[in-house]
Amino acid sequence: MGSILIAVDSVVNVLLGLLLLIFPPSLVEWLGLPLPSSAFYVRILGAVILGIGVALAIEFRREPGSSLVGLGTGGAVAINLCGGGALVAYLAFGDLSLSAEGKIVLWLLAAVVVGLGLVELVANLSGRRLSS
């Protein structure tokens, strides 16, 4: 189950990273999200998220004894819960001027990221109990 979660997390991060890296303003407007004055930080964030997705893919494909290690489940849990939690806090308590569509898109994204982090955490903790 752990490797399946790493693969799913990798795909989510690669897709989101590529979307932010490309940052098509027309799609952002269509989704009802605010356009920043500069795409610089959005694209840097996209590159970081893409890197996380690639690190997860490396870990997913890693052979036993390989010297190249990617990002494991523990790191994925930390990133997903921190990033998703910050997004939830911002949506719940921040003063955002978002359209209804924008709020829906961001709440769905937060649910996917936090949900994936929680599933990974539970799977990891369950696996430890089973092996103990």
pLDDT per residue as tens digits for the range 31-60: 888 888 888 999 999 999 999 999 999 999
Helices of type H across the chain: 2-22, 25-30, 40-61, 73-93, 100-131
Per-residue model confidence (pLDDT) at position 31: 87
Number of folded domains that form the chain: 1
* Enclosing domain of residue 13: 2-131
- Residue that is written with structure tokens 């209804």 in the block: 100
For 83-105, how does the pLDDT look when each residue is reduced to its tens digit (9 = 90+)?
999 999 999 998 888 899 999 99
Residue 129 has pLDDT above 70, yes or no: no
Question: In the predicted model, what is the mean pLDDT of the chain?
Answer: 90
The pLDDT of residue 17 is above 80: yes
Nearest partner of 58 among 43, 42, 69, judged by Cα: 69
